[in-house]
Amino acid sequence: MSFHSMWAELLPVGRSSASGGYRRYAWTGADADCRAWFRQQAEARGLAYEVDRNGNQWAWLGDPAAGNAVVTGSHLDSVPDGGAFDGPLGVVSAFAALDELRGRGARLTRPLGIVNFGDEEGARFGLACVGSRLTAGALTVEQAHRLTDGDGVTLPQAMEAAGYDPDGIGPDPERLARIGAFVELHVEQGRALDLSGDRVGIASAIWPHGRWRFDFRGEANHAGTTRLADRRDPMPSYAETVLAARREAELAGAVATFGKIAVEPNGVNAIPSLVRGWLDSRAADQASLDTVVTAIEKAAREYAAAHGVDLTVERESFTPVVEFDHALRDELALILSGDTELRVPVLGTGAGHDAGILSGRVPTAMLFVRNPTGVSHSPAEHATEDDCVAGVSALADVLEGLART
Ligand code: GLV
Ligand code: MN
Ligand code: MN
Ligand code: MN
C-alpha cells in the first residue's frame, strides 16, 4: 500500500469536523481505531503482530528473539486539537519504508520492527510518553497506577475499559535488550529545515523539559458584593505569574508556557477558590531551565502572598537533556549522504519524543521531515507529500544500511 493511501486511510480517525484538529487520546475510541489500523497494516504485510505488557504495538519482520533488531516507529495519539503529522508520520513512514525495502529486494540480516508507542502526548493523563516510560522503567508501576484523567478514570481502568489487561504493566528490559537501534522519524516542529532548504534532517539532542502544576488557592465569594479589599482572589496572582513566565523565559533564552488551566468553581459571577495552571518549560540546557523555573516560582510566591493566596507548586514530570547516540547519528549521516558531498543537517529540538525516553537504554536516533511553517500541536501542522515521500526514502535507506551491518 502506498504512503498516500495509508495516510488517507488514517486521516479521518479522531478528527474534529469543527476544527479539523485531532483528539486521539490514549485508550479512547479514536485510539482504538488507530490501533486497529496499525494491526491491519502489520497483518496485511505478513508481519508478526504483538502488543506488549504496556499496550505498545509491535510488528516484526524476522524474529526479534534473534536480537540486535532495528526498530522504527513513533506514536498515533495526539494533543487536544493536534495535527495529523506529529506521531502518525513516523508510523506510516515505517510501513511505507518497509514496502520500499521489499520493492528494492533489500537483504536484511537483522530483525526489523515497527512500533506504535501508547500515550506519547499525555493528553489524557497529564504525563507524556507513558508507553515508552513504562517499558524503559522511567515510570514506576505505582506512579502509573496513580495517573488519573479529568473524569477521575485511572490509567488501569482506562486500559481495562479498552480491553487491555493492566495487571502486567511495568519495565520490559528483555524487550529492550533485543533492540540494537531505534530510529524515530518525526515531522519537524520548527522551521530549521525550511530555512536551510533541506527535506530531511537528523536530530542531535532534545532539550530538558518538564511540567509543573501551580495551585493558587483563595476563597470563593460573590463577584458583586465582595469589596476588592476583602478578596482572596487567586486569579490576579495567576495572571501575574503568566506574565512573569514570559519575561523570565526571555531572560533565560528558554521557553515557558501556561497552556492549560482549571478554575474552581468556574462561574462568571464567583471569585475563584482555586486557579490551577500547568507550566511547561524547556531550555537548551539544564542550568537555564533551572533558572527560569526557579524565577517563575519565586515570582508566583510573591504575587500569591500579596493577594493573600496560598500557592503550592508540584513538578509533575521531568525529562533531562537527551543527547542522541553519536555513533548512530554519524552512521545515519553517512548512509544519507552516500558517496556524495551532501551535508545532512543535524538539529536539536524542544519537543519530547519516545526516542528520548528510549535513548538511555538503546542506541537511538531521529529523522526530521521538513515542516514548511514549523507549526505543530495545531491543526495547521503540515508537511508536503513530496517531503513525506523523501522522508520514507531516507528512512528506508537508514533501515537498509543499519539492517545489513
Ligand atoms: C510532546 O510532543 C511534547 O514535546 O510535549
Ligand atoms: Mn507532540
Ligand atoms: Mn510526536
Ligand atoms: Mn512528543
- 325 and 315 both lie in a single domain: no
Domain count, the chain: 2
Place of cell 519516545: 354
Distance between first and last Cα of the chain: 27
Ligand 1 and 351: CB distance under 6 A: yes
- 29 and 158 both lie in a single domain: yes
Give the chain's count of helices (H) and strands (E): 13, 15
Q: Nearest ligand to the C-alpha of residue 376?
A: 2
CATH number at residue 176: 3.40.630.10
What pLDDT, on the 0 to 100 scale, is given for residue 101? 97
Examine the fold and report which residue of 319, 339, 374 is the final residue of a domain before the chain moves on: 319
- 137 and 252 both lie in a single domain: no
DSSP secondary structure letters along 240-298: HHHHHHHHHHHHHT-EEEEEEEEEES--TTEE-SEEEEEEEEE-SSHHHHHHHHHHHHH
- Whether residue 170 has pLDDT greater than 90: yes
- Whether residue 171 has pLDDT greater than 90: yes
- 389 and 296 both lie in a single domain: no
- 315 and 348 both lie in a single domain: no
Domain that holds residue 332: 3-207+321-403
Please compute the mean of the pLDDT values over residues 334-347 and round it to a whole number.
Answer: 88
What pLDDT, on the 0 to 100 scale, is given for residue 340? 77
| Nearest atom of ligand 1 to the alpha carbon of 351 | 4
- Whether residue 342 has pLDDT greater than 90: no
CATH number at residue 271: 3.30.70.360
Q: Nearest ligand to the C-alpha of residue 78?
A: 2
Q: What is the pLDDT of residues 379-390, one digit of tens each?
A: 999 999 999 999
- Whether residue 1 has pLDDT greater than 90: no
Please report the beta strands in 272-328, taking only residues with DSSP state E, as ranges in sequence order.
274-282, 310-319, 322-323
Q: What is the pLDDT of residues 61-87, one digit of tens each?
A: 999 999 999 999 999 999 999 999 999
Task: Report how far residue 108's alpha carbon sits from residue 230's, in angstroms, rounded to the nearest whole number.
Answer: 74
- Which one of 22, 24, 184, 353 would you pick to mutate in the ligand 1 pocket, going by the greatest count of ligand atoms within 8 A of its CB? 353
- 187 and 278 both lie in a single domain: no
Please compute the mean of the pLDDT values over residues 179-195 and round it to a whole number.
Answer: 97
Place of cell 479521518: 12
Ligand 1 and 322: CB distance under 6 A: no
- Tell me what the pLDDT averaged over the chain comes to: 97
Examine the fold and report which residue of 299, 319, 339 is the final residue of a domain before the chain moves on: 319
- 111 and 10 both lie in a single domain: yes
Examine the fold and report which residue of 319, 353, 388 is the final residue of a domain before the chain moves on: 319
- Whether residue 341 has pLDDT greater than 90: no
Ligand 1 and 128: CB distance under 6 A: yes
Q: What is the pLDDT of residues 349-401, one digit of tens each?
A: 999 999 999 998 999 999 999 999 999 999 999 999 999 999 999 999 999 99
Ligand 1 and 129: CB distance under 6 A: no
364 near 182, Cβ under 8 Å?
Answer: yes
- 336 and 201 both lie in a single domain: yes
pLDDT > 70 fraction of the chain, expressed in percent and rounded:
100
188 near 371, Cβ under 8 Å?
Answer: yes
Please compute the mean of the pLDDT values over residues 220-243 and round it to a whole number.
Answer: 98
- Whether residue 13 has pLDDT greater than 90: yes
For residue 105, give every residue at least 6 positions away whose Cβ sits within 8 Å of its Cβ, in sequence order, or none.
none
* Residue 269 assigned to a binding site: yes
- 300 and 327 both lie in a single domain: no
- 227 and 281 both lie in a single domain: yes
Please compute the mean of the pLDDT values over residues 206-224 and round it to a whole number.
Answer: 98
Quote the radius of gyration of the chain (alpha carbons, Å). 22
Task: Report how far residue 286's alpha carbon sits from residue 397's, in angstroms, rounded to the nearest whole number.
Answer: 34
- 161 and 214 both lie in a single domain: no
- Whether residue 286 has pLDDT greater than 80: yes
What pLDDT, on the 0 to 100 scale, is given for residue 38? 98
What pLDDT, on the 0 to 100 scale, is given for residue 298? 98
C-alpha of residue 264 to centroid of ligand 3, in Å: 32
- 245 and 182 both lie in a single domain: no
Ligand 1 and 352: CB distance under 6 A: yes
DSSP secondary structure letters along 150-179: TTS-BHHHHHHHTT--GGG-S--HHHHHTE
User: Amino acid letter at 389?
Assistant: V
C-alpha of residue 76 to centroid of ligand 1, in Å: 13
